[in-house]
Structure formats: structure tokens, C-alpha cells
Amino acid sequence: MTVPVGAAAPDFELKDQHGATVRLLDFRGRAVLLMFVPFAFTGICTGEICEMRDSGSDFANDAVATVAVTCDSMFSLKEWAEREGIGYPLLSDFWPHGATARAYGVFNEERGCALRGTFLIDADGVVRWSVVNQLGDARSLDDYRAALAAL
């Protein structure tokens, strides 16, 4: 079961593509668009992270931070971020494998990856909006914009 809207967002502590430790608590005071991505270097996933990159200040500014989480290793994420020019944090949920995705209720046990789940977490750490798509279904940035506007 996914984390319901209105519930406290589960905290996490993961390494980003540079090896730095990132915690959800680090973002307290601003909203977080937490985006789970199934696999680095795949077509839909690359399209989604690049679409976020190209939207720049819509999703990364003083009021909101974008963070992507995948079960790939930190080293894969570093290469993926460099290849695609991603400046926002790509977090590795590699070990314990998928623990953060499980905490949010978006881990696909059969495939060993996260579903396409996105959670909008407010400045106080409460989930205010979410969407979960299956592996082959891309998400819409227009939905993200609408959710942020409603915050």
C-alpha cells in the first residue's frame, strides 16, 4: 500500500550520484517532489528525468526540490546524470535493495525495481499528493504543476 495523502512521508537516507548522503529531513522547510524511477538508462525513465531537467525552475527553486530515487547503484546514477546533464539529486535505493521504495509502497517485488511513483511532500514532511503509474506508463509534468499549484 502506498503512503496515503495526509500521512507523514517516510524519512530516508540515501546516497546521491556523487556519493553524498541525502535525507528527506534535509529538505524540511520546502516542498519535495519525490519521483521514483524504475531503471536508469531506459527510454521512459530517461525521458522523464530529462523532461524534469528541461523544466528547470518549475520543479527546482526556493519553494520546491526535485529528487529522483531508483534502485540502481550510485555509480550507475553518476554516469546517467553526467550523460543526461542532470543537476538535481538522483538517489540510489540499491542497498538494502528497494528499502525506500518499499517504505513508500512502490516497490515491484517481481522486477526488483520501483514503480513510477511520485509524491509531493510539503515543507512539514506531509504527503499532499501522489500518483503511481505502472512500469510502462510515463507520468505527466502537467499533473506535477497542478499539484504544486494546489499546495
Catalytic residues: 45
CA distance 144 to 142: 5
CB contact at 8 A, 89 and 77 = no
CB contact at 8 A, 97 and 52 = no
Backbone φ/ψ region at 2: left (φ over 0), alpha (ψ -120 to 50), beta: beta
The length of the chain, given as a count of residues: 151
Tell me if residue 52 falls in helix, strand or coil: helix
Amino acid identity for residue 36 in this structure: F
5: phi then psi, degrees, rounded to nearest 5: -60, 135
Tell me if residue 107 falls in helix, strand or coil: strand
CA distance 11 to 100: 8
